[in-house]
């Protein structure tokens, strides 16, 4: 199997490196970062083992527990980007028990395979790029020059004369070749083609219009109407097979046609069965499923919707334990897929989950509550921190936003205090606070081009004064 994992290669992705990469976005929460990093590394380690032992090594699934807004989902999101392995994040609350209306848990395995297919195709794209590009170029030349002589004479004549018209004098050979013997005709066609080739390469034909056929997939909208949002994907693909494939002619500029033709040629180079089996192997061996909001699967009373939630827990068991799921791409064994579950567990405890399910998440990591210093760092350190986001947004209006150190400290202090006195919503508090602090300037920015706004402690307090004075009001707005 080709190596579909990130360009730097999984060998470079040591636990320390993973933590380092996560550190760029998430402040603190070292224990959680370390355990996901080790779990990801273990996938790679297992790949190095001999076949026999490899079958024995099952992943140790992880349960991340922590209050709301402290980075659980953020860790998953970032991990997805850096692993290069098939990875999906799903909300446990989206599933319904098998037999009920809605998405059943097996759909996440299908989603994981789809994700793997994207990865495999990306890898193959790199391998096949040169061939596809070349074929795409040939197709463009076919379109620009018309088919070779003796196949569709008239069309070519038309195009060739069109060409001599706008290339003025130097096309005499092409013109005369047309009425001559076959060999000369072929010869002149070759000339035309090679001339067009150089022009194409030189980017001189980008604005030419070409006409080509594209195949149209039957509209998924139609099936959407038939089966609603939840219609089974496999069912959908089956229906698609029965639908007549239609193709239509499309006119486009060379520069736009190139993208479509490249896709077509690239798809032709792919062996679908091979892609599917590679993707399945990849998903089975390196796949990671992040199950968010798992605490919401705990039934409180055992009535109504809760019964179905308990059912979802039961449905999850075989998947996490290892089973075979049928997908349209083939059968998928789930034994070695890594599951990382996360939940706030503020109403319930992990021990409220079904005992069998608890047992399948042996690694527990707790994420800690954030304190004032953490908020300062969250606001200032990550390259895409909130303060940088706001500054960049306002810069588009020509307004400069300067956050001073004491301004950031003040925001962090308020965030921490509000989390203490009202509800603790973690770092999400920073979003509500900043929105409030910058409301005025956000609204009026278009009228203040060239202005520099300094967000220091005084500015922060001035903006929040009224709200902070009134507990009820701050509960409501901040
Ligand atoms: N430790 C952290 N470092 C940097 N940003 C953080 C941190 N914790 C939370 N955030 C930011 O706060 C927001 C909410 O975080 P996140 O979605 O990870 O919360 P969560 O732990 O999944 O909470 P919930 O239990 O409610 O789902 C995100 O915008 C995230 O970037
Ligand atoms: Mg979350």
Render 142-156 in DSSP notation, one character per residue: HHHH-SPTTTSHHHH
Dist. CA 290–CA 76, nearest whole Å: 7
Looking at residues 210-216, what average pLDDT do you find? 80
Asked whether residue 109 falls in the same domain as residue 17, the answer is yes
Q: Is the pLDDT of residue 176 over 60?
A: no
Asked whether residue 266 falls in the same domain as residue 280, the answer is no
User: Which sign, positive or negative, has the C-alpha torsion 307, 310, 314, 320?
Assistant: positive
Asked whether residue 325 falls in the same domain as residue 450, the answer is no
Of 366, 383, 403, the last residue of a domain is 366
Looking at residues 427-456, what average pLDDT do you find? 91
pLDDT digits 0-9 by tens, 17-75: 999 999 999 999 999 999 999 988 988 898 899 999 988 888 889 999 999 999 998 99
Looking at residues 373-396, what average pLDDT do you find? 94
Q: Measured from the CB, is residue 378 less than 6 Å from ligand 1?
A: yes
Percent of the chain exceeding pLDDT 90 equals 38
Ligand nearest to the CA of 74: 1
Q: Degrees (nearest 5) of the Cα angle 173, 174, 175?
A: 95
Dist. CA 120–CA 132, nearest whole Å: 16
Asked whether residue 103 falls in the same domain as residue 150, the answer is no
Burial class (CB in 10 A: 0-12, 13-18, 19+), 320: buried
Asked whether residue 193 falls in the same domain as residue 208, the answer is yes
Are the CB atoms for 86 and 282 separated by under 8 Å?
yes
Please list all protein residues whose beta carbon sits less than 5 angstroms from ligand 2, which is an ion. 72-73
For residue 373, report the phi and psi dihedrals to the nearest 5 degrees.
-60, -35
Residue having the nearest C-alpha atom to atom 14 of ligand 1: 69
Of 366, 396, 425, the last residue of a domain is 366
Is 476 contained in some domain? Answer: no
Q: Is the pLDDT of residue 226 over 70?
A: no
Q: Is the pLDDT of residue 456 over 80?
A: yes
Asked whether residue 162 falls in the same domain as residue 265, the answer is yes
Dist. CA 291–CA 71, nearest whole Å: 14
| pLDDT confidence of residue 96 | 72
Identify the CATH number of the domain in which residue 300 sits: 3.40.50.300
| pLDDT confidence of residue 2 | 42
Ligand nearest to the CA of 345: 1
Asked whether residue 264 falls in the same domain as residue 280, the answer is no
Residue with tokens 């939940």: 343
| pLDDT confidence of residue 237 | 66
Asked whether residue 201 falls in the same domain as residue 136, the answer is yes
Q: Measured from the CB, is residue 419 less than 6 Å from ligand 1?
A: no
430 CA: nearest ligand 1 atom: 12
Dist. CA 222–CA 353, nearest whole Å: 40
**Exposure on the CB side of residue 202, measured as CA atoms within 13 A:** 7
Asked whether residue 298 falls in the same domain as residue 262, the answer is no
Ligand nearest to the CA of 65: 1
The structure tokens listed for 110 are 């299908």
Dist. CA 138–CA 145, nearest whole Å: 10
DSSP 102: S
Q: Concatenated DSSP letters for 290-328?
A: EEETGGGG--SSS-THHHHHHHHHHHHHHHHH--EEEET
The structure tokens listed for 160 are 């060739």
Separation of CA 365 and ligand 2 centre (Å): 15
Note down the domain range covering 239. 129-272
Dist. CA 381–CA 412, nearest whole Å: 13
Looking at residues 224-229, what average pLDDT do you find? 45
Count of helix runs (H) and strand runs (E) in the chain:
21, 11
Q: 3-state DSSP call for residue 211? A: strand
Looking at residues 429-443, what average pLDDT do you find? 92
Asked whether residue 267 falls in the same domain as residue 133, the answer is yes
Is 101 contained in some domain? Answer: yes
Is 22 contained in some domain? Answer: yes
Asked whether residue 334 falls in the same domain as residue 408, the answer is no
Are the CB atoms for 204 and 167 separated by under 8 Å?
no
pLDDT digits 0-9 by tens, 260-301: 888 888 888 888 899 999 999 999 998 999 999 898 888 765
The structure tokens listed for 427 are 């770092």
Asked whether residue 187 falls in the same domain as residue 317, the answer is no
Of 332, 348, 366, the last residue of a domain is 366
Is 4 contained in some domain? Answer: no
> Which residues touch 250 (CB under 8 Å, ≥6 apart)?
211, 212, 213, 214, 260
Dist. CA 77–CA 75, nearest whole Å: 5
Q: Measured from the CB, is residue 71 less than 6 Å from ligand 1?
A: yes
State how many domains the chain has. 3
Q: Measured from the CB, is residue 276 less than 6 Å from ligand 1?
A: no
Identify the CATH number of the domain in which residue 459 sits: 1.10.8.60
């Amino acid at each position: 199997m080709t190596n579909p994992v990130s360009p730097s290669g999984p060998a470079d992705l040591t636990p320390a490196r993973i933590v380092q990469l996560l550190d760029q976005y998430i402040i603190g929460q070292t224990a959680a970062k370390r355990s996901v990093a080790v779990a990801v590394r273990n996938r790679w380690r297992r790949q190095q083992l001999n076949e026999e032992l490899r079958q024995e090594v099952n992943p140790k699934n992880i349960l991340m527990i922590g209050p709301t807004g402290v980075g659980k989902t953020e860790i998953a999101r970032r991990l997805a980007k850096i692993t290069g392995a098939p990875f999906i994040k799903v909300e446990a609350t989206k599933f319904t028990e098998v037999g009920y209306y809605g998405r059943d848990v097996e759909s996440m395995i299908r989603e994981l395979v789809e994700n793997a297919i994207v990865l495999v195709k990306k890898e193959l794209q790199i391998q096949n790029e040169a061939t596809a590009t070349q074929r795409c170029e040939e197709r463009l030349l076919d379109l620009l020059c018309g088919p070779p002589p003796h196949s569709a004479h008239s069309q070519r004549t038309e195009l060739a004369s069109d060409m001599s018209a706008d290339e003025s004098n130097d096309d005499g050979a092409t013109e005369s070749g047309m009425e001559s013997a076959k060999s000369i005709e072929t010869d002149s066609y070759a000339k035309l083609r090679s001339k067009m080739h150089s022009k194409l390469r030189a980017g001189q034909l980008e604005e030419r219009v070409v006409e080509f056929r594209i195949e149209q997939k039957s509209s998924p909208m139609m099936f959407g109407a038939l089966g609603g949002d939840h219609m089974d994907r496999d069912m959908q693909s089956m229906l698609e097979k029965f639908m007549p494939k239609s193709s239509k002619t499309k006119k486009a500029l060379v520069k736009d046609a190139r993208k479509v033709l490249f896709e077509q040629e690239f798809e032709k180079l792919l062996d679908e069965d091979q892609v599917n089996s590679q993707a399945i192997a990849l998903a089975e061996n390196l796949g990671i499923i992040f199950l968010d909001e798992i605490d919401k699967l705990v039934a409180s009373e055992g009535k109504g919707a809760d019964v179905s939630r308990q059912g979802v827990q039961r449905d999850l068991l075989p998947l996490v334990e290892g089973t075979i799921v049928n997908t349209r791409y083939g059968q998928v064994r789930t034994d070695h897929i890594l599951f990382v579950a996360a939940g706030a567990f503020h109403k319930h405890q992990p021990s409220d989950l079904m005992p069998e399910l608890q047992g399948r998440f042996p690694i527990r990591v707790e994420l800690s509550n954030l304190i004032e210093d953490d908020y300062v760092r969250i606001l200032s350190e990550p390259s895409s921190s909130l303060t940088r986001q706001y500054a960049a947004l306002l810069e588009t209006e020509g307004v400069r936003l300067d956050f001073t150190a004491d301004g950031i400290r003040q925001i962090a202090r308020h965030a921490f205090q509000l989390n203490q006195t009202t509800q603790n919503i973690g770092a999400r508090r920073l979003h509500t606070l900043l929105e409030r602090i910058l409301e005025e300037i956000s609204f009026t920015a278009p009228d203040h081009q060239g202005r520099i706004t300094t967000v220091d402690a005084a500015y922060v307090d001035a903006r929040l004064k009224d709200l902070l004075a009134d507990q009820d009001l701050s509960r409501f707005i901040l």
